[in-house]
Amino acid sequence: MSQLIGIAIRQKKRAPMELLDSAFVTTEKGIVNDFRGKPGNRQVTVLSKTAWNTACDELGQMLDWQIRRANLLVDDIDLQEKTGKIIRIGEIQLKITQETDPCKRMEELVAGLFKALAKQWRGGVCCRVISEGQIKIGDKVEII
């Protein structure tokens, strides 16, 4: 069974990511205090540790996951081609709305990262919050 192994937010555009041990997630604000949390199809982003490690292996270097600027890091779960599916994390539910396409910022941070993330949904998924609540590191994660 997969679990939540990372939570990160940023206060504003291009701000550094802040790592958290827990967070409250709402349908109105996404992860509370996160810059992107407004309602819509990109409210919360989820990254698979397996996919991230594959991208890092391709680059030949291990990078901190928050460089990707995703909100949530989950282990041992395949997010590829899961649009429309629901991810349950602890007591919340997120609907996968689309692949998270890497942006030019990835290339600014690490040469080759854009290309490594552009394959096989390695950049993760975008989600809309459909059920709110508290999440914390170690929460069980499943696609339902």
Tens-digit pLDDT profile for residues 40-74: 889 999 999 999 999 999 999 999 999 999 999 99
From the list 89, 69, 84, 83, the residue with the least C-alpha distance to 132 is 89
Domain-wise residue ranges, the chain:
2-143
According to the model, what pLDDT value does residue 98 have? 96
Burial of 60 (0-12, 13-18, 19+ CB in 10 A): exposed
**CATH class for the domain made up of 2-143:** mainly beta
According to the model, what pLDDT value does residue 87 have? 97
What percentage of the chain's residues is helix, strand, coil (to nearest 5)? 20, 35, 45
Determine the residue type at 43: Q
- Rounded CA-CA distance 143/95 in Å is 10
According to the model, what pLDDT value does residue 39 have? 83
Give the tens place of pLDDT for each residue, 78-123. Answer: 999 999 999 999 999 999 999 998 888 888 888 999 999 999 999 9
- Rounded CA-CA distance 45/41 in Å is 10
The pTM for the full model equals 0.94
